[in-house]
Chain A
């Protein structure tokens, strides 16, 4: 009771409970005790601790929990020494519930892990539960799970799964679980371990490893915070993810149980809030900056009108003047952040460093950005604390050695910027390294690129920016200097120490999140480094081009608007314009182009008689004899059909149909691989295909949307339409003969010179036609507006048609046997039959295509009534609750009906694919029993299962399961007492599944109609069993039409029924009807 009172009065939750308690008290005078009882259950119930847990907590006023000290944003210690992170937030949330009993102990992973193992610490966050760790820890459920991604250099080829990394070197954090995974499952991957995530990413950035595999959140955080601009996230791996739980010392299982209860008490919203608001947290805790200043400082500031700060005018991306004359840069963003706090007094004055430096010395300027404090400078400057720290690196030839330290450069030449501190550093500390000085960073880097110097040493961010900007592609970061990272400070005039102190306060006030935002913005900026400079080629590349001044092009002579040869023999099209730009840039001559078929082009390329294919889709087959640039043009593949063709929505709808593709095109390669059931036929040109399609010689054409649309419009094929999209694209690259590997990177550079604007211009010039892409759903919609109204007509029509069809078939069989006198009648019947069959097909198609439209209103009916029942926006009264329940239930019933009808119509139309799965019969039986077991039990029935073990099946698993579930749920619905027996028997190549119930039974007359549609026995039997009346009909359809088996029933009225299904254990693939043909 004491606990309860304390809870009610102290906690926020308790206060809410208390007010509702008072309200109830007022309303129900006198009923105090029961009310308190109820509330006591509801209130602290969320963290309902047992008596022994309470007692345990009494005895342990402090519980110490370890967190990692350097794993942002999971857990880390921030610059001011405070623990931060998602794990820490969880502990804070627990502490609100546990009177701040939990003490946070940050430390390196190995240390806190060992401390809990040795019971010196009580628990730790950030741990992944593993069987091998269970010896030392009790684990709670995970509190966060973050996927693991593959990170690579941004120019690396696609590596979307671990399998792609075979033969590559992968960097990971020491001791992380991924090490074991890679070691055990991917022995072909070379693994390098690093102490921290930051170290691995650094290694990846400078090319020491090919990839990093690890936690997405952590890696992204570091990439943004440390401004590593040349990395990209690739695929997500399925093998591991970061699952963080709490590990508790092995001798305290009770603490695990308490912590688990606390975790359970954190609502999904609170949980999300913790994950989401991080790391924005600090911003909200920030106090108003002005309040942190002393009176003297505030007074001083109020006396100033402007404070002039010198900034560098040409040191991108830290600080520079852009083309528009605006001062930009990371440093400038920081200056702005400081300025915000100082009320906008700071004015940046861009100029060369030396000039600004002297001006501050002479007090003509008040301060200078980006200065490193040095004893000799102290005579003239007061230094602020650093606003940013950036490591110094070595930049050298991509193919050259790594430099682990400056000593590795002994006897070599290092290029440095004149007047920079590094010059002094090298001269004093590494006298064996020869120093060459250059006027700017760009000059120094270019010297390395030319081979004049072996390496450049300097600021990583600046160097990486310039490598991209100046396209110095033969350079890379090849090592990190062993000196402490560069600290960039603000220096102010010696007579104004007060300003340095104010700036210090402002820098300290910039939250990690704010800094993070600045970095994030610049990582984005750095990635889209401008490309509007002139093409930069290396010496070797120039030499190579000089020796290969003429190229022979392989062109598809009739593939407008991508490329073609016009009547005058001129090369035309989108590709031709790109090639023209490129050959101009590279001063290449183009040999006269022959008029060739595409297959001939490929043949000649194989023989090395053609050097360049301006527009070709890269494929594995072709990469045997060609190298490819990255794609520069992309066109979607779509399905074309005749206007009057049946509805096609995807490639599967083409199964069994005759589909045309161009000979040698990659489309046939794709279709053969992914859709072998499509009958392919090839033609020489797109033009031939369109003609064939228009004349009805083929059913469809899969090809380039742009090209075909162009031709359709040009040649006036009015009966051809775009029927549906496909997942494929024509991604066109330039193909280069295999024995010219030098040319591909040159072309790549040239392509990167063509900017977006130019590309668009070219595209627009050739591709100005407008196309309707995809199915015209608007039309379908319009048709279906009336669908809701006529659903009943459809249902009736559907089954009348079906029955008439049946009757006619029977009649036809009889007339066949009769003599010639009946011939005329027979013919008429045949005709009628054909017509009916056609109607039947139309019906099936209609139903399939409006299924979407029927489900859309149901989404509203089921959805909104569901929301009302949930009471998300206020309670319903009892009556409305009842009505809404009925609306919801009817909606769901209608949905079941539609689903069944669609299923049936699809089976009848042959649009269902029969899957061939390998499984053991037991699996689906136990799944079905699991699914229905509870309901059966609830009804007070027994369920006996007797099936042989290890019956290997090779058939459509889902469909057989559907039948079994149907039979079981029927048995349950119609049985009020007794129970259900499910048996299976192997009969040679077949399996017989039997479901016997003790229900109401079925009379012999009813048994005949049982498997027909809409035959539900409730009308006679006064059992409202629910269901659609289509279940058995569907079961029979599936069993016979799809699974090549049969179904049946034996029953005596009043004594229960036995339903059975017999299917072959191995489905016969030859007998699977490719019935799409019939549609």
Chain B
């Protein structure tokens, strides 16, 4: 469960969140596209998934839908991490099956606490 899958297409963001997670003792798996993320989720069954919503191939909501529809991966907690902060995004993502929602830009000082808070009891 100490494995986290990060699905994110921006290399900077990927490096940042990976470093933060690794500094906190997690093993990070990286996926750059939605479909790659779906495959890796199924293969590695990570403890939780951090999902960027705007991806090059399919959008995050679809990634989420696929993850939720597969027997093996349906209960893996998914945290949406996005700078797509329009009104109602949060509700929409949560309704789509996200367990939690963290807004970018992330603050390394508080993001782990935030993750733990939103995933309380799930990891």
Give A residues with C-beta under 8 Å from B. Answer: 145-147, 149, 216, 232-233, 241, 243, 268-269, 272-273, 275-276, 524, 527, 636, 649-650, 652, 725, 727, 773-774, 777-778, 848, 851-852, 855-864, 866-867, 869-870, 872-873, 891, 895, 902, 906, 911-913
Q: Is the CB of A241 within 8 A of B84?
A: no
Which residues B96-123 have CB closer than 8 A to chain A?
A: 96, 104-109, 112, 116, 120-123
Q: Is the CB of A275 within 8 A of B1?
A: yes
B71 within 8 A of A: yes
3 tightest A-B CB contacts, nearest first: A855-B83, A145-B121, A866-B108
Contact A727/B61 with A147-B122, A652-B87 known, Cβ cut-off 8 Å: yes
Residues of B within 8 A of A146 (CB): 121
Name B110's closest neighbour in chain A (CB-CB). A866
Complex Cα distance, B75 from A400, in Å, reads 35
Partner of B105, one of A524, A855, A912: A855
Residues of B within 8 A of A216 (CB): 75
Per-position binary interface string of chain B over residues 72-88, scored 1 when its CB falls under 8 Å from any chain A CB and 0 otherwise: 10110000000111111
Q: Is the CB of A895 within 8 A of B84?
A: no
Residues of A within 8 A of B112 (CB): 268
B12 within 8 A of A: yes
Residues of A within 8 A of B123 (CB): 272
Give B residues with C-beta under 8 Å from A. Answer: 1-2, 10, 12-13, 16-17, 19-20, 23-25, 47, 54, 56, 58-59, 61-62, 71-72, 74-75, 83-88, 92, 95-96, 104-109, 112, 116, 120-123
Residues of A within 8 A of B83 (CB): 851-852, 855-856, 859
Name B47's closest neighbour in chain A (CB-CB). A276
What is the minimal beta-carbon distance from B119 to any residue of chain A, in angstroms? Answer: 10
What is the minimal beta-carbon distance from A690 to any residue of chain B, in angstroms? Answer: 24
Interface of B is mostly: loop
Q: Is the CB of B105 within 8 A of A863?
A: yes
Contact A859/B109 with A276-B2, A852-B54, A852-B83 known, Cβ cut-off 8 Å: no
Contact A863/B96 with A147-B121, A269-B25 known, Cβ cut-off 8 Å: no
Name B56's closest neighbour in chain A (CB-CB). A778
Name B22's closest neighbour in chain A (CB-CB). A872
Q: Is the CB of A848 within 8 A of B54?
A: no
* Further contacts, 16 of them, CB under 8 A, given A276-B47, A773-B59, A866-B107: A268-B112, A272-B1, A275-B1, A652-B88, A774-B59, A778-B56, A855-B85, A860-B16, A863-B20, A864-B16, A867-B23, A872-B19, A872-B20, A872-B108, A873-B23, A891-B105
Partner of A863, one of B25, B85, B108: B108
Residues of A within 8 A of B84 (CB): 852
Complex Cα distance, B25 from A482, in Å, reads 49
Contact A856/B87 with A273-B2, A727-B61 known, Cβ cut-off 8 Å: no
Listed A/B pairs (23) with beta-carbon separation below 8 Å = A146-B121, A243-B121, A272-B123, A725-B62, A727-B61, A727-B96, A773-B58, A848-B86, A852-B83, A852-B85, A856-B83, A859-B10, A859-B13, A859-B104, A860-B13, A863-B16, A863-B108, A866-B107, A866-B108, A872-B20, A873-B23, A906-B87, A913-B87
Q: Which of A145, A649, A848, A859 has the most CB of B within 10 A?
A: A859
Complex Cα distance, B104 from A857, in Å, reads 10
Residues of B within 8 A of A145 (CB): 120-121
Complex Cα distance, B20 from A249, in Å, reads 41
Q: Is the CB of A895 within 8 A of B105?
A: yes
Residues of B within 8 A of A863 (CB): 13, 16-17, 20, 105-108
Contact A870/B108 with A848-B86, A859-B16, A864-B16 known, Cβ cut-off 8 Å: yes
Q: Is the CB of B105 within 8 A of A858?
A: yes
Q: Is the CB of A870 within 8 A of B12?
A: no
Q: Is the CB of B1 within 8 A of A856?
A: no
Contact A860/B12 with A276-B2, A869-B109, A906-B87 known, Cβ cut-off 8 Å: yes
Residues of B within 8 A of A636 (CB): 62
Q: Which of B74, B96, B107 has the most CB of A within 10 A?
A: B107
Q: Is the CB of A859 within 8 A of B12?
A: yes
Contact A725/B105 with A216-B75, A527-B71, A848-B86 known, Cβ cut-off 8 Å: no
What is the minimal beta-carbon distance from A251 to any residue of chain B, in angstroms? Answer: 31
Residues of B within 8 A of A911 (CB): 87
Complex Cα distance, B120 from A77, in Å, reads 28
Residues of A within 8 A of B75 (CB): 149, 216, 233
Residues of B within 8 A of A852 (CB): 54, 83-85
Contact A777/B108 with A147-B122, A725-B62, A860-B16 known, Cβ cut-off 8 Å: no
Complex Cα distance, B95 from A902, in Å, reads 24
Residues of B within 8 A of A851 (CB): 83, 85-86
Complex Cα distance, B68 from A727, in Å, reads 14
Q: Which of B20, B84, B121 has the most CB of A within 10 A?
A: B121
Q: Is the CB of A856 within 8 A of B107?
A: no
Partner of B86, one of A147, A524, A649, A862: A649
Complex Cα distance, B123 from A902, in Å, reads 35
Complex Cα distance, B10 from A636, in Å, reads 27
Q: Is the CB of A727 within 8 A of B92?
A: yes
Q: Is the CB of B16 within 8 A of A867?
A: yes
